[in-house]
Amino acid sequence: MSGGMASSFLMAPGGSLTGRLRVPGDKSISHRAIMLGALAEGQTRVSGFLEGEDSLATLAAFRAMGVRIEGPEGGNLLIEGLGLRGLKAPAGPLDLGNSGTSMRLLCGLLAGQGFAVTLVGDASLTRRPMRRVTAPLALMGARIATSPAGTAPLRIQAGARLQGIDYALPVASAQVKSSVLLAGLFAQGHTCVTEPAPTRDHTERMLAGFGYVVQRQGATVCLEGGGRLVGRALEVPADISSAAFVLVGASIAPGSDLTLEHVGMNPTRVGVINILRAMGADIQVLNPRDAGGEPVADLRVRAAPLRGIRIPEDQVPLAIDEFPALFIAAACAEGETLLTGAEELRVKESDRIQVMADGLAALGIANEPRPDGIRIQGGRPHAGRIDSQGDHRVAMAFAMAAPRASGPIEIRDCANVRTSFPGFTRLAGAAGLAIEEVES
């Protein structure tokens, strides 16, 4: 859980979502903007930066390594890049809070530096598996010590001479892919990563945008170590993972008609739209355009009757962070929804399969959790009390159940919503939900 007092969401039943709004900037792109801007030569100007706790943890880590960063102010940053070899040893451990993306990507980025560094995080992050990253980095020559359980703290030793590798990901993971590619910047020779299914490609796109040569052929992406990055202007689109909650809420709340502006439409991230449309959602993609190498569009969503489906497994990697919201859509759909091939959900900020299953049961929604997914029988949520287990996406997902619920819903342990969606209660309230955040 993030710092500060514990908080809960109190949701009154009913309401609809209407109007126009813009959700905060994309968290994945915000992290990478800081990292590559710091490694670039010259200035990088960033607009639309997500001022959430996870992204700010990445920013603080690079400041601690000697990078001058002005802002954030209104989502704007100015980064004075130090080049690939310009980072300095921090005075102490780098505390990455709740951010798994920060820890896993920094693991690769720092593996070939000339200084030792320790990466730490909060209680939730310290439980998350890290050997999936440290194992391929060890094949490159990195020396990284974990806890006996393969978790943080991670102690990265100085002076490792990295060699490029050809690595086939055992499980589709953008974080592992990105970590290996970032290590490859400092390695001798070629580094190639082949993935079993498409995952978000923000790292590859952004490397190319900073002038680094990246080769992509089918499921494989390669780069040569020892190149250079050149500072640039970068616009961060609105985060489709944050938009997903509102897309679900507007789909299931009667009378809703909502437009979300400037949403990132990276083809490796649009699984939530594909799945909702397969369930019968009325989502229109308007004014598609390009924003600094990333496709964006406005999304208009109107209330529509949803039906349960078997979620195609090829869509799972494209919607892995959006499944808590999709579970709420399934809970309010007619018939049964079945998810398989999503065991990755069990090692997120919480065991999202079990925590969502427990919450759905608390609201009277029949479900059957499985090792790699869940079966959900649609119905009408009851009043109830939810323990989000400190997982920001679980908390926001259950907030979207309120318009269809028969009574009030209390969602506990919501402080971590600030890690990815600062201002969530204000925005949800402005759109039409009856939401109150109380400290305890």
Give the model's pLDDT for residue 3.
44
CA dist 52 and 351 (Å) reads: 22
Is pLDDT of 355 > 50? Answer: yes
Domains of the chain: 7-24+237-439 (3.65.10.10), 27-235 (3.65.10.10)
Mean pLDDT, rounded, of the chain: 96
For 298-346, write each residue's pLDDT tens digit. 999 999 999 999 999 999 999 999 999 999 999 999 999 999 999 999 9
Among residues of the chain, what percentage have pLDDT more than 70?
99
What does the block give as tokens for 373? 């997914």
For 147-167, write each residue's pLDDT tens digit. 999 999 999 999 899 999 999
CA dist 271 and 418 (Å) reads: 24
**Rg (the chain; Cα; Å):** 21
Specify the higher pLDDT residue, 3 or 362: 362
Is pLDDT of 1 > 50? Answer: no
Give the model's pLDDT for residue 5.
65
CB distance 275 to 333 below 8 Å:
no
Which residue carries 């929804």 as its tokens?
337
CA dist 189 and 162 (Å) reads: 9
Task: Write the DSSP string, 78-141.
Answer: EEEEE-TT-----SS-EE-TT-HHHHHHHHHHHTTSSS-EEEE--HHHHTS--HHHHHHHHHTT
- Kindly state the average pLDDT of the residues 263-275: 96
Give the model's pLDDT for residue 6.
82
Catalytic residue among 239, 321, 387, 413: 321
321 an active-site residue? Answer: yes
For 115-158, write each residue's pLDDT tens digit. 999 999 999 999 999 999 999 999 999 999 999 999 999 999 99
For 9-43, write each residue's pLDDT tens digit. 999 999 999 999 999 999 999 999 999 999 999 99
CA dist 322 and 320 (Å) reads: 6
For 66-77, write each residue's pLDDT tens digit. 999 999 999 999
SS3 399: helix
Task: Write the DSSP string, 3-21.
Answer: SS--EEEEE-S----EEEE
Is pLDDT of 428 > 50? Answer: yes
CA dist 173 and 320 (Å) reads: 10
Give the model's pLDDT for residue 89.
98
For 360-407, write each residue's pLDDT tens digit. 999 999 999 999 999 999 999 999 999 999 999 999 999 999 999 999
